[in-house]
Amino acid sequence: MFSVDYRLAPRNPYPDPVNDCYQAYVWIITQAEQQLGMKIKHVILAGDSAGGHLALSVTLLAILRGFRRPDALLVHYPVWHIDVNRFFPSLLLSLDEWMLS
């Protein structure tokens, strides 16, 4: 198991955290066996909140760049869409939600 110590916002804005996680992912896939003696058979990316967003971002970058995709994703309440210029009816439903306010 690996945990990436990525650079945090706001001091390090997007795309720095995504780049850190993707570079770590590529290193794990390409170097873990040679450097650490670990055979990587199955890869599961996991994260919650911003970590879930980063796991999804790494997966999308791997797909777009033709690199090895993870075998599974485990994301818990990921932040995957933040756009103040777009409106969705579900936003109205969450305005009075005591856990989200």
pLDDT in tens, 28-68: 999 999 999 999 999 999 999 889 999 999 999 999 999 99
Contact present, 24 and 4 (Cβ < 8 Å): yes
Looking at the chain, the whole-number percentage of residues with pLDDT higher than 70 is 80
Residue 8, in any domain of the structure: no
Could you tell me the residue range of the domain that residue 61 belongs to? Answer: 16-82
Cβ 16 vs Cβ 54: under 8 Å: no
Number of domains in the chain: 1
H helix or E strand, kind and range, residue 28: helix 16-36
| Cis check: omega of the bond before 17, within 30 degrees of 0 | no
Residue 94 lies inside a defined structural domain of this protein: no
Whole-prediction pTM value? 0.79
Local confidence band at 82 (pLDDT 50, 70, 90 cut-offs): low
- How many residues does this entry show for the chain? 101
**Residue 3 falls inside a structural domain:** no
